[in-house]
């Protein structure tokens, strides 16, 4: 049974939040020059909030999701020097996640650091490839960015800056998509090697599609990669073919086989896989949870958020009831195999159906 603040998080993810003028001024400054959010990917387009009980959420806002955020009943207020989220008669204290100071700065070549790195909560994400070799209909990356490789030197410099940011210092690193073209596989793996070598005392995770010939779990482990995120995203083959044809061609069985091999090589609790909730029937998502848990993989539930730039802009996001049902049943399924829902990092829960508890399994910034 979810606590009231956890139910609020789910409602914020599904329905969005309205930010009052007073709250905007407190976040953006009196001239409203600072951004509310570094909206980039579809799942991080909202405002980051840390609620009571160490519950983190990325709540969509009308500026970036006018396609479904319309007169939400949830409001971020600023009263008597404090932020709070008001939802009907329920109110809780909240703290907006600040924007890192580096967002205003450029490297020695005049390139914005944010063209290389984005920090949400305590994790800096770098994407060696802008755009993507695939065109998944739920992801804004191939529709927003032209495909190109980024400078490895620029990536490492941006991570260095993000780790020492005076406003929002990153604690760990995620190297993620877009997916490279086959001719760029070696470049992608060189990024993994060089970033891990540059930051040997920082946890570096890799999130990538297991395209044949791209990822070698043993080589990644030997390079110093901390965890792998191999996202299944959808279990239903027909929906997969329809919404992510490039990944569908790799094949569900091949992805699951890769995950099983990675679990064997990395060991338990170091391989996770994201499933989108709301694009396919919930029963199929739950089958995906079971398939992952059977293989010792940590399932991660990510509520589908329709991005205005994608072909699915008018697709209705899942309701609060659907999300809670998927979460509670997934917890039960994962538990049967001795697995917990991920990710383990509590601040990284902000765009997933995950909550901290007293087990000691979840780590990161404490309450």
Closest to 209 measured CA to CA, from 267, 155, 273, 157? 273
**In a 3-state reduction of DSSP, which class is residue 11?**
helix
Domain shared by 269 and 364, yes or no: yes
190 token code pair: 């060189």
In a domain, 133, yes or no: yes
Digit-coded pLDDT (tens) for 6-57: 999 999 999 999 999 999 999 999 888 899 999 888 899 999 999 999 999 9
Residue 367 in this model has a pLDDT that exceeds 50? no
pLDDT interval class at 242 (50, 70, 90): very high
90: which strand partners?
A: 87
pLDDT value of position 224: 98
Question: Where in the chain does DSSP place strands (E)?
Answer: 18-19, 47-51, 55-59, 74-79, 82-87, 90-96, 117-120, 123-126, 129-130, 148-149, 172-175, 204-207, 227-229, 271-277, 298-303
Rounded (5°) CA angle 125-233-12: 70
In a domain, 242, yes or no: no
- Residue 235 to residues 2, 60, 125, 248, 353: CA-CA distances in angstroms? 26, 26, 26, 10, 18
Digit-coded pLDDT (tens) for 188-215: 999 999 999 999 999 999 999 999 999 9
Percent of the chain with pLDDT over 70: 99
108, with CB counted inside 10 A (0-12, 13-18, 19+), is exposed
In a domain, 199, yes or no: yes
* pTM more than 0.85: yes
356 token code pair: 């901290």
Domain shared by 221 and 133, yes or no: yes
- DSSP β-ladder status, 74-79 and 82-87: antiparallel
Domain shared by 146 and 162, yes or no: yes
Residue pair 84/94 in contact (Cβ under 8 Å)? The answer is yes
Domain shared by 132 and 185, yes or no: yes
Residue pair 138/244 in contact (Cβ under 8 Å)? The answer is yes
Rounded Cα distance between 176 and 195, Å, is 12
Domain shared by 133 and 209, yes or no: yes
Closest to 363 measured CA to CA, from 344, 349, 341? 344
Domain shared by 110 and 189, yes or no: yes
Residue 8: CB atoms within 10 Å: 24
Domain shared by 111 and 193, yes or no: yes
The total domain count for the chain is: 3
Instruction: Write out the residue range of the structural domain in which residue 219 sits.
Output: 100-229
Domain end, chosen from 43, 70, 96, is at 96
Rounded Cα distance between 292 and 9, Å, is 25
What is the CATH number for 160? 3.20.20.70
Averaged pLDDT score across all residues of the chain: 96
Domain shared by 108 and 90, yes or no: no
Rounded Cα distance between 336 and 229, Å, is 22
pLDDT value of position 120: 93
What residue has token string 């399924």? 333
Residue pair 343/331 in contact (Cβ under 8 Å)? The answer is no
Q: What is the mean pLDDT of residues 227-232?
A: 98
Q: Which segment of 30-34, 207-211, 313-317, 352-356 scores lowest on mean pLDDT?
A: 30-34
Digit-coded pLDDT (tens) for 156-170: 999 999 999 999 999
Q: What is the mean pLDDT of residues 79-86?
A: 97
The counts of H helices and E strands in the chain are: 11, 15
What is the CATH number for 258? 3.30.750
Domain end, chosen from 178, 196, 229, is at 229
pLDDT value of position 366: 57
In a domain, 28, yes or no: yes
Domain shared by 196 and 263, yes or no: no
Domain shared by 89 and 21, yes or no: yes
């Amino acid at each position: 049974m979810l606590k009231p603040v956890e139910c609020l998080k789910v409602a914020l993810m599904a329905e969005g939040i309205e930010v009052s003028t007073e709250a905007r001024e407190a976040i953006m400054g009196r001239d409203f020059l600072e951004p509310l959010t570094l909206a980039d990917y579809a799942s991080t387009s909202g405002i980051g909030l840390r609620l009571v009980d160490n519950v983190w959420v990325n709540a969509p806002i009308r500026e970036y999701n006018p396609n479904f955020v319309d007169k939400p009943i949830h409001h971020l207020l600023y009263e008597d020097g404090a932020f709070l989220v008001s939802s009907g008669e329920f109110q809780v204290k909240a703290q907006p996640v600040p924007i890192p100071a580096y967002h205003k700065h450029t490297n020695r070549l005049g390139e914005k650091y944010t063209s290389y790195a984005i920090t949400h909560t305590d994790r800096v994400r770098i994407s060696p490839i802008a755009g993507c070799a695939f065109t998944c209909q739920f992801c804004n990356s191939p529709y927003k960015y032209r495909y190109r490789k980024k400078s490895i030197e620029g990536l490492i410099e941006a991570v260095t800056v993000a780790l020492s940011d005076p406003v929002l210092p990153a604690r760990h690193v995620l190297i993620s998509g877009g997916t490279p073209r086959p001719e760029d596989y070696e470049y992608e793996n060189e990024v993994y090697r060089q970033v891990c070598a540059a930051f040997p005392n920082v946890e570096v995770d890799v999130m990538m599609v297991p395209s044949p010939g791209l990822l070698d779990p043993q080589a990644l482990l030997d390079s110093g990669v901390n965890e792998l995120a191999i996202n299944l995203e959808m279990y239903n083959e027909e929906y997969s073919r329809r919404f992510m044809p490039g990944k569908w061609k790799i094949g569900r069985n091949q992805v699951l086989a890769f995950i099983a091999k990675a679990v064997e090589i990395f060991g338990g609790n170091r391989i996770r896989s994201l499933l989108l909730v709301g694009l396919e029937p919930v029963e199929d998502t739950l089958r995906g949870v079971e398939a992952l848990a059977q293989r010792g993989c940590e399932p991660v539930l990510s509520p589908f958020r329709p991005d205005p730039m994608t072909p699915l802009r008018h697709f209705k996001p899942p309701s609060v009831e659907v999300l809670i049902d998927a979460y509670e049943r997934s917890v039960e399924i994962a538990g049967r195999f001795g697995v917990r829902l991920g990710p383990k990092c509590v601040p990284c829960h902000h765009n997933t159906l995950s909550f901290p508890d007293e087990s000691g399994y979840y780590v990161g910034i404490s309450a």
